[in-house]
Chains A and B, each alone.
Chain A
Amino acid sequence: MKLGKVIGKVTLSGQVDSFTGGRWLVVQPLNREALAGKGQPTEPSLVCYDNLGAGVGNIIGYVEGREAAQPFEQDTPIDAYNALIVDTINYMPPKK
């Protein structure tokens, strides 16, 4: 699971039929510098399936890979799933 900041929403006009009723978030992954509050995003943003109702500006924990398709009954081609919406981040890297 990685942290990411929600920067937008996606509505689909055409989709795979197992995606019906899904909500989609555009998420910017947070690297070390972004977590510490400075630095530019370096990784490309991605689209996550959302079942928890995260809004723009929330920081979420998203899961990639096979585990992202676990919570669905039938096999769906999803590989980014919003697992939690973060309340507080206590990020304290050791000072060099």
Chain B
Amino acid sequence: MMLCRVDGNITATVKHASATGWRFVICQPITADGAEVGSPTIAIDPLGSGLHSRVMVSTDGKHATELVKCRKTPIRNSIVGIIDT
């Protein structure tokens, strides 16, 4: 799982049919002490994470297909945990 920090979200009307209704969140991969590493990725967010909160992002496409209930979805990243400490 990737340790990421939520840095914002995006809205998109024109998208793949399976992605309708999902919240797209900008996740910036960070190290354990919060230093930014690499470029931000977009993940769907079923848990409603807040801005600048640290989250666990799974890059497993299978979980995303079960979430959006469409076997043909191109979505890959999904937030699977909001980190407390």
Within 8 A of B (CB), among A1-60: 1-3, 29-32, 35, 43, 51-54
A residues lining the B interface (CB < 8 Å): 1-3, 29-32, 35, 43, 51-54, 61, 63, 65-68, 70-72, 81, 83-94
Whether A93 pairs with B61 at a CB distance below 8 angstroms is no
For the residues of B in contact with A, the DSSP-based class is mixed
**Number of contacting residues on B, CB 8 A?**
33
Q: A89 — nearest CB in chain B belongs to which residue?
A: B10
Select which of A3, A52, A90, A94 is within 8 A of B40 by beta carbon.
A3
Which residues of chain B have a CB within 8 Å of any CB of chain A? Answer: 5, 7-16, 19, 24, 26, 28, 36, 39-43, 51-52, 61, 64-65, 71-77
Contact of B74 (CB < 8 Å), options: A29, A70, A89:
A70
